[in-house]
């Protein structure tokens, strides 16, 4: 299991007053990740996708788009003290999905153990298992807020896939799951019933449109008994007009503004321990819309993270 050397981030503006993410993200090693408020970890794998592939190119594209985004948030000021660990190395021709999930868990366990706040850049939704699994080994209760059009609670009949991560994680000891932005007619009754039976919470795109902040609070309230909260963003939670470059784009999704508002609210919860962006597939994109939306989602989330907790 190896992690490739991190890329060198560069800003794109010639104006010395334009501080961009490309100017503040530093290269780092596993030994030094705790020196930063957050660390990026790339996970370029899409071998578990049920639909259209392309998410393996997500980490590189999101980094490139984020590098030109300015660091200033009007309410919280600039974001700084960020680093990039590099990409986890996979061989898609040799490594099966279950093996990749195990490989990812080995790396993410090291990142968590060093007290770092990881931002995982995927990659497909199967990677969630490797990103959350180390937390389930802690003597603590763990919940996930999943911004997703789908529930991803399929039974892994033929092995794990991008549609099975939360079924797997519940089998491994996940305590709670709040799905935010779920769309009608995008899941089967059996999977909705399963999530209800295990104490999960479903908050639809309709509820988001009525009050994004209240919906985010409901999602967190449903995890009130959890010691740690992991946050997952599947970019297909956005309407296909904002995010065509995903495995399964459909109409009826939430807007970027709604998403960013909720990400900041959820990120401000002191129990949040990690964040991932998955299912951003640049080869399927239109004029970079999906990549830009994903990159700015990362920026908005980081602006809400409490670094004084």
Q: What is the rounded CA–CA span in Å between residue 52 and residue 23? A: 34
Helix spans in 42-157 (H): 58-67, 97-113, 127-136
The hierarchical CATH code for the domain 21-304 is 3.40.800.10
Instruction: Give domain limits for the chain.
Output: 21-304
Contact 1, 103 (CB under 8 A): yes
Backbone angles phi, psi at 226, to 5 degrees: -90, 140
Give the mean pLDDT of 157-180.
96
pLDDT digits (tens, 9 = 90+) for 114-167: 999 999 999 999 999 999 999 999 999 999 999 999 999 999 998 999 999 999
pLDDT digits (tens, 9 = 90+) for 1-51: 589 899 999 999 999 999 999 999 999 999 999 999 999 999 999 999 988
84: three-class secondary structure by DSSP: strand
Quick check: 307 pLDDT over 70? no
> What is the pLDDT at residue 94?
73
């Amino acid at each position: 299991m190896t992690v490739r050397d991190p890329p060198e981030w560069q800003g794109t503006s010639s104006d010395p007053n334009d501080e961009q993410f490309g100017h503040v993200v530093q290269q780092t090693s596993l030994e030094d990740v705790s020196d930063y408020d957050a660390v990026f970890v790339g996970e370029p794998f899409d071998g578990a996708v049920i639909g259209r592939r392309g998410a393996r190119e997500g980490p590189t594209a999101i980094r490139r788009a984020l590098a030109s985004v300015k660091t200033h948030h009007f309410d919280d000021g600039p974001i700084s003290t960020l680093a990039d660990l590099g990409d986890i190395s996979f061989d898609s021709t040799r490594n099966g999905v279950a093996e990749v999930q195990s490989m990812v868990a080995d790396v993410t366990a090291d990142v968590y153990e060093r007290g770092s706040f990881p931002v995982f850049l995927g990659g497909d939704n199967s990677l969630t298992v490797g990103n959350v699994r180390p937390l389930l080994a802690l003597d603590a209760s763990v919940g996930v807020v999943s911004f997703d059009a789908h529930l991803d609670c399929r039974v892994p009949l033929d092995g794990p896939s991008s549609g099975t991560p939360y079924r797997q994680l519940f089998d491994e000891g996940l305590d709670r799951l709040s799905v935010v932005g779920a769309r009608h007619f995008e899941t089967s009754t059996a999977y909705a019933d399963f999530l209800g039976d295990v104490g999960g919470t479903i908050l639809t795109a309709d509820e988001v449109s009525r009050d994004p902040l209240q919906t985010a609070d409901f999602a967190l309230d449903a995890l009130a008994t959890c010691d740690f909260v992991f946050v997952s963003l599947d970019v297909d939670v956005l309407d296909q007009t904002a995010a065509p470059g995903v495995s399964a784009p459909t109409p009826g999704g939430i807007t970027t503004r709604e998403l960013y508002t909720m990400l900041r609210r959820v990120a401000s919860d002191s129990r949040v321990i990690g964040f991932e962006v998955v299912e951003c597939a640049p080869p399927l994109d239109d004029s970079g819309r999906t990549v830009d939306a994903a990159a700015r989602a990362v920026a908005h989330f980081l602006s809400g993270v409490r670094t004084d907790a």
